[in-house]
């Protein structure tokens, strides 16, 4: 029996920790780019979504399954979680707004993945779609209506990473892993230095890292916007190289986290709201960062527990049966 390769589980664990700690740092009361929290945030947002989409694309090679499960796995949870998060925001802040066309917080990712997984069967039929997707990503910044609405901006901008994952082959991963680790460490050091420089010297607006709005809306001229986005694409690609090269492929303590990232991703949003509510208690001192790091680690541990993951999935599955499957069965029976 072939031994399981835990590489992607370990990578996903690192990615989800980066998501959580970045979101928690962003909600601290004295957040600014040129701070420790700002550096953590800048580093994290140079690879987290790109990394997740690369991994998702890699595991999307079963085209029929991707289309068949896209609605239940991604769009249905989005439709359910939007009003739930609206209610939670209302209870915490005393005010909230619900608009299905404007994904709240991290839920945009579900909408974008639904589009990718549903359309991948058609996308791969397009000749040279991977280089074309890079052109699309750069061109998306010129179009004002490709913004947060229905996550259109991110869906067009992040497409190269999903497709890169889809086309990436197992033997290519082995080639990357066979590159001397010293090279991976060297690239890692360069990436960290670049991200620290971006944060401390304000080389670009942090909002440019989100790639969710046009260059103009981000406060950039078209030529500076396209140059910055091109740099971000290169940086993110380099991060993917570093993860594939340096992250262990054996079983580690990260595996349990990496195998349950969706539950963590969704549930940590609530903790983020709580931190935002109490943000005046966090500053630029060691204790504040220790509290945020502990909150992130605790979130990963708690939300990756089998009981929590099973509860989240059972909740979604039950609603799917009651809201979708049973009415469909009744309709078919009536026909």
Mean pLDDT value across residues 8-36: 92
| Residues whose CB is less than 8 angstroms from the CB of residue 210 and which lie 6 or more positions away in sequence, other chains included | 45, 154
**Residue ranges covered by each domain of the chain:** 7-304, 305-335
Least confident of 57-66, 127-136, 275-284: 275-284
Share of the chain above pLDDT 90, in %: 85
Q: What pLDDT shows up at residue 280? A: 65
Cβ contact 103:152 at 8 Å: no
Mean per-residue pLDDT for 40-63? Answer: 96
Confidence of residue 1 (pLDDT cuts 50, 70, 90): very low
pLDDT confidence bin for 284, thresholds 50/70/90: confident
Q: What is the mean pLDDT of residues 243-261?
A: 95
- Give the Å distances, CA to CA, from 266 to 23, 181, 284: 12, 34, 27
What phi and psi, each to the nearest 5 degrees, are found at residue 108? Answer: -55, -30
Per-residue pLDDT tens over the stretch 81-123 = 999 999 999 999 999 999 999 998 789 999 999 999 999 999 9
């Amino acid at each position: 029996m072939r031994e399981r390769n835990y590489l992607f589980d370990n990578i996903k664990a690192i990615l989800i920790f980066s998501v959580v700690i970045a979101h928690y740092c962003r909600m601290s009361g004295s957040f600014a780019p040129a701070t420790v929290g700002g550096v953590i945030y800048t580093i994290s947002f140079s690879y987290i979504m790109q990394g997740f989409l690369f991994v998702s694309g890699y595991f999307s090679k079963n085209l029929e399954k991707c289309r068949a499960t896209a609605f239940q796995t991604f769009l249905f949870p989005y439709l359910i979680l939007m009003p739930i998060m609206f209610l939670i925001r209302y209870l915490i802040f005393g005010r909230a707004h619900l608009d299905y066309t404007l994904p709240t917080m991290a839920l945009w990712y579900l909408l974008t993945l639904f589009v990718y997984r549903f359309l991948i069967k058609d996308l791969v039929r397009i000749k040279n779609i991977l280089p074309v997707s890079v052109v699309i990503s750069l061109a998306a910044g010129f179009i004002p209506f490709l913004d947060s609405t229905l996550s259109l901006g991110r869906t067009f901008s992040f497409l190269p990473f999903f497709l890169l994952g889809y086309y990436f082959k197992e033997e290519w991963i082995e080639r990357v892993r066979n590159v001397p680790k010293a090279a991976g460490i060297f690239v890692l050091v360069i990436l960290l230095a670049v991200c620290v420089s971006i944060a401390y010297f304000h080389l670009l607006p942090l909002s440019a890292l989100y790639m969710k709005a046009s260059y103009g809306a981000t406060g950039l001229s078209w030529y500076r916007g396209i140059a910055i986005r091109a740099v971000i694409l290169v940086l993110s690609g380099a991060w993917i190289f570093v993860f594939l090269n340096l992250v262990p492929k054996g079983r580690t303590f990260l595996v349990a986290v990496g195998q349950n990232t969706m539950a963590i991703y969704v549930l940590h949003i609530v903790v983020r709201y709580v931190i935002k509510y109490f943000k005046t208690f966090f500053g630029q001192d060691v204790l504040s960062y220790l509290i945020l790091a502990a909150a992130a680690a605790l979130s990963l541990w708690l939300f990756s527990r089998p009981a929590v993951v099973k509860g989240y999935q059972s909740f979604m599955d039950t609603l799917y049966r009651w809201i979708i499957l049973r009415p469909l069965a009744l309709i078919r029976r009536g026909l």
